Amino acid sequence: VDKSHRYRAIEAWAVPGISEIVAGDIIEEIIWEAVDSLSAQEPERDLREGDIVVVTSKIVSKSENRFIPVSLAAEHLKHETVRIVARRARDDGETLIVENSLGIVCAAAGIDKSNTPDGSALLLPEHPDGSARAIAAALRQRSGQKLGVVITDTLGRAWRLGQTDCAIGAAGIRVLNDLRGTIDAGGKPLASTITAVADEIAALADLVKGKSGNTPVAVIRGLAEYVTDDLDEEGAASIIRPSHEDMFRIGSEEAYAQGFSAGVAAQRGLKPGESS
């Protein structure tokens, strides 16, 4: 009996031994060395066909020298903000939800002030799908195996408390699994389900890596069906909902205020935006 086909099983582990990343570090080499050193002691922890390597965006940003002085964080926030989605005063400051330069809707444009050297903050990687491709290409070449790579960031949600890790970069994996048209166990077509595989992988990896910053890389084994031959598949940018499909493009209060102004202007016989 081939047990492996009776039910699906996944293993995932954090890769120990990755020390503080600095600007200019070749991250794919550092990951490779850490994996190599782990598998020298525990042979089952090598990289195998179909494994997925999940990397916290923070260390990618560090290696790509995306440091900024924390004193300039407000100016960078303005620059990284494509548009303000919603803002709300809090007791201890302000919640600011924006669309950033990557198209991602998130708090504070993804600028990160934790786990950074004193006085510094970090921007997100400039091209996370490109960074994922570079890491995947190097690790595939080093290991001789078909691997996937996901780069993660921690994002909030509109209607649920807390954050989950999501994929902001990906290479060598199918990021969305479109099940529309497939059939369920009873032979009926599945409802319109598209599984955000790369985001679920990022969430899984967060549980393994934790938030302390000591283990920014995890390996997942058991999801080879999502690993692609090609590194040129659509990356994590394709998970972002296009704006014409976005029913929550701005916050409810912001939309109400815009509508109110337009209603006042219309009633006065003016076009919205025209001054009286």
Residues 184-203 binding its own copies (CB under 8 A) are: 184-186, 188-191, 193-197, 199-201, 203
Of residues 48, 208, 224, 233, which one binds its own copies by CB under 8 A? 208
Which residue, 110 or 125, has its beta carbon nearer to its own copies?
A: 110
Residues 99, 82: contact at Cβ < 8 Å? yes
Q: CA 63, CA 158: separation in Å to the nearest integer? A: 31
Which residue, 65 or 238, has its beta carbon nearer to its own copies?
A: 238
Q: Count residues binding its own copies (CB under 8 A).
A: 98
Q: CA 17, CA 274: separation in Å to the nearest integer? A: 61
Q: How many CB atoms lie within 10 A of CB 50?
A: 18
Of residues 7, 24, 273, 274, which one binds its own copies by CB under 8 A? 7
* 61-120: contacts with its own copies (CB under 8 A): 86, 88, 95, 97, 104-105, 112-118
Q: CA 119, CA 141: separation in Å to the nearest integer? A: 37
Report which secondary-structure segment, H or E, holds 120. strand 120-122
Q: CA 261, CA 45: separation in Å to the nearest integer? A: 61
For residue 275, what are the contacts with CB-CB under 8 A and spacing of at least 6?
Answer: none
* 117-146: contacts with its own copies (CB under 8 A): 117-118
Which residue, 107 or 137, has its beta carbon nearer to its own copies?
A: 107
Q: Is 212 in the site for its own copies (CB under 8 A)?
A: yes
Q: CA 136, CA 93: separation in Å to the nearest integer? A: 40
Which residue, 145 or 164, has its beta carbon nearer to its own copies?
A: 164
What one-letter code names the amino acid at 269?
Answer: G
Of residues 89, 144, 161, 181, which one binds its own copies by CB under 8 A? 161
User: Residue 148: beta bridge partners?
Assistant: 52
Phi, then psi, of 260 in degrees rounded to 5: -60, -50
User: Which segment (59-67, 123-131, 138-146, 234-242) binds its own copies by CB under 8 A?
Assistant: 234-242
* 165-184: contacts with its own copies (CB under 8 A): 165-166, 176-177, 179, 184
Residues 126, 67: contact at Cβ < 8 Å? no
Output the CA–CA distances (angstroms, integers) from residue 18 to 11, 40, 41, 153, 206, in the order listed: 20, 15, 16, 18, 16
Show the site string, 12-31: x = touches its own copies by CB under 8 A, - = not.
Answer: xxxxx---x-----------
User: Which segment (24-32, 74-82, 143-151, 237-245) binds its own copies by CB under 8 A?
Assistant: 237-245
Of residues 2, 267, 274, 275, which one binds its own copies by CB under 8 A? 267
Which residue, 5 or 144, has its beta carbon nearer to its own copies?
A: 5
